[in-house]
Structure 1
Amino acid sequence: MKKLLVLAAALTLTACSQAPAAQEPEQRAAPQAGFPVTVENCGRTLTFDRPPAKVVTGYHPSLETLFALGLGDRITGRTNFSESAFLPGHQEQYDKIPEISDTIMMPQKEIMLSQGADFIVDNQMASFDAAGGYATVEELDAAGSPVYILGGWCSPEEVLRFTLDDTFDDLRNLGKIFGVSDRAEKLISELQGQLDDVKKRVEGRTPVKVLATDGGKGPVNAYGGSGITHQMITLAGGENVLKDVKGDYTEVSAEQVSASQPEAVLISDYSTLRGEDMPSSPAKAAETFAIVKNSPAAEEQRYLAVPVAAQHPGYRNLLAVTDIARFLHPDAFTQ
């Protein structure tokens, strides 16, 4: 990718009654310490001469991740977020940022290009599909608006290869891009400490058999043995009952789900969206328990609503591991 275009101009107007003084040669802005920096993303090389100052974010986990790094003041435009409850303190920041799209997708091409962004962060390539009327990554690059995709979710194959280490890599890369590497390393250390604590607490305990689903009577929208949700289950001391199913978010027959005999269920939660096409988490749980009616999970009505935003690349999926572990092994967190 070409270097980030930096718009720097200085106009000095001098008014006096005498003849104007000779103008000095134009001064170029002094380079910032630690720059330029280069990172790799989606098979592209992104080079930044200075920290971005006019940032647009896509689906909410990208915004949350920048908030976690203390970079909310750099964001000048965001998409709409109405799928999950906000993390503590985030809605106040969210409300102050202009909304450029009333969906989770980026706005159409003309609106997107008019933002004049010097950096764009998202975690889905669908927002840059020309067939949908969106500005492409190449068009935005040419306009001086380089795109960074969280989690390396650059293709269906790369979605399946995702690991939670990719989220740490994103935090480290964003720290470099914005010139806040110390801040990023501190956050990484804190999050790694939380994951290490979970690992220590669940170590040696019998894994709980977990079904992760987004509902459906058949086929069922469920999570197979690849991707974010599968890894969160494993790190939290669970065993994904669909671990042998290829894919991340995929369709599974009701018969296979019924035979999986889960001991606990994770439900993808769209807490603020309701309607015929978006049933509540309790409704989806009831639907799931009807399918696995002879399972331990159904007998105990044991389920946890997991914010759907935590099931996409971003800061929140690291936090969700602790929540899932507490649900699966409550006794491990009594002290």
Structure 2
Amino acid sequence: MPVTRIPNAARRGTALGSALAAVLLIGGCGAEVGPDAEAGASAPPRKVTVDRCGEPVTYTTPRRAVAYEGGSADKLFSLGLTDHVLGYVMPPANPPVTESPWAAEYARVEMLSDDLLNKELVVDARADLVVAGWNSGFSDQRGITPEILDKLGIQSFMHTESCFNYPGHPQRVTPFEALYSDLERLGKIFGVEERAEEVVEGLRRRAEAVAARAPEGDPVPVFLYDSGTDQPFTAGSQVPPNDIIGTAGGRNVFGGLDERWTQVSWEAVTEAEPEVVIILDYGDQPAQEKIDFLRKSPRTSRLPAVEKNNFFVLDYNEGISGPRNIDGLEKFAEYLRTLKD
């Protein structure tokens, strides 16, 4: 499990404008930035107070946002905020951005780094907002935290899902609700509340439609295999795959763990007798390699899911917090229905 994120697990931009700091027509979907759009050149910068892990923070409309990993960039792009994105940082675990539904938006901004997020990078880029998760971007060990950025005058946005273990300001929100909350909070920060409401309503409707078609009977026990050979990393109750599995009609065999991404034992996996294994597919750790390991390892080769060849591959960006969670949900739900047929 790479240290770049909790799951073993975009550089375009103009300088901050003088008087037009809150008056831009946002690219994509025709959304406008806030009530200052017609206020003229003398309008002051637009400010709004939004919670960051439950802590009220005042934001000025960003013009040079930096996103860490696909989930962050996808949230911004889904709200039509491409013109406000300076660039993205995309470590090797992420699948190629050309595979994203927003590939055209990624192409309009810069790739700032294919390594870890760090303070020097965002300072050199003159970023005015960094979007990332706690321990998946922001990190005490690497010296880039919201508190440090606050002191540098750089705004930060933290994924609600990652607030669960954020020191000083923990927040418990179910993963899908955390996604919706993020989109709504970003909508307020950028002044595109109506667009955010439309996006959230669409995602909610899709999730509800999946839940309504969930297979009847006992939920299928599902094990998510993130990575690890000596001990596996998997999904606890506080990350999106738990909601993906449950909404689709399955049961996360480690959903009782009050954790995000966590390490368990192979003995616990064996005892859980999963009927399905979800493989989290990274750019640098292909799914087939993980499947081959599970088939060959004496600790897992006799698992019901392995013997029945019940493997489902979940794209990395469908498993971390982002709008593609619902894509992953729909695909997994369809897979479960085929097993019940």
Distance 2:91 2:310 in 1: 28
Match of 1:102 in 2: 114
| Contact 1:225–1:244, Cα closer than 8 Å, also in 2 | yes
1:140 is aligned to 2:153: no
Distance 2:44 2:71 in 1: 31
Identity over aligned residues, as a percent?
Answer: 27
Distance 1:99 1:310 in 2: 21
Q: How many residues align?
A: 300
Distance 1:297 1:185 in 2: 39
Match of 2:68 in 1: 58
Q: What do the CA deviations read for 1:65-117 (whole angstroms, capped 9, x no partner)? A: 111111112111211254225454423322332222221x223x333223222
1:1-335, aligned counterparts within 5 Å?
8=18, 29-31=42-44, 35-49=46-60, 51-82=61-92, 83-86=94-97, 87-103=99-115, 105-107=116-118, 109-125=119-135, 127-129=137-139, 131-132=141-142, 134-154=143-163, 156=165, 158=170, 162-202=174-214, 204-270=216-282, 272-273=283-284, 278=285, 280-289=286-295, 290=297, 291-330=299-338
Q: What do the CA deviations read for 1:188-230 (whole angstroms, capped 9, x no partner)? A: 1111110111011016343111111123333222223443222
TM-score scaled by length of structure 2: 0.78
What secondary structure is seen at the aligned counterpart in 1 of 2:213?
Answer: helix
AA partner of residue 296 (structure 1)? P
AA partner of residue 42 (structure 2)? A
What secondary structure is seen at the aligned counterpart in 2 of 1:310?
Answer: helix
Unmatched runs of 5 consecutive residues or more in structure 1? 1-5, 11-26
Shift of 1:159: 8.0
- Of 174-183 and 292-301, more deviation after overlay is shown by 292-301
* Segments ≥4 residues shifted beyond 6 Å: none
Alignment RMSD? 2.8
| Contact 1:267–1:281, Cα closer than 8 Å, also in 2 | yes
Shift of 1:160: 7.0
| Contact 2:132–2:159, Cα closer than 8 Å, also in 1 | yes
> For the structure 1 residues 210 and 136, does the alpha-carbon distance in structure 2 shift closer, same or farther, using more than 3 Å as the test?
closer
Shift of 1:147: 0.3
Distance 1:85 1:183 in 2: 27
| Contact 1:62–1:314, Cα closer than 8 Å, also in 2 | yes
Q: What do the CA deviations read for 1:27-72 (whole angstroms, capped 9, x no partner)? A: 983247xx532110124322234x3222111122100111111111
AA partner of residue 29 (structure 1)? S
Match of 2:7 in 1: none
| Contact 1:215–1:287, Cα closer than 8 Å, also in 2 | no
Unmatched runs of 5 consecutive residues or more in structure 2? 1-15, 21-39
AA partner of residue 46 (structure 1)? V
AA partner of residue 183 (structure 1)? R
TM-score scaled by length of structure 1: 0.79
AA partner of residue 313 (structure 2)? A
> For the structure 1 residues 263 and 248, does the alpha-carbon distance in structure 2 shift closer, same or farther, using more than 3 Å as the test?
same
> For the structure 1 residues 160 and 239, does the alpha-carbon distance in structure 2 shift closer, same or farther, using more than 3 Å as the test?
same
> For the structure 1 residues 198 and 131, does the alpha-carbon distance in structure 2 shift closer, same or farther, using more than 3 Å as the test?
closer
| Contact 1:54–1:118, Cα closer than 8 Å, also in 2 | yes
Distance 2:304 2:140 in 1: 47
Distance 1:221 1:152 in 2: 18
AA partner of residue 328 (structure 1)? L
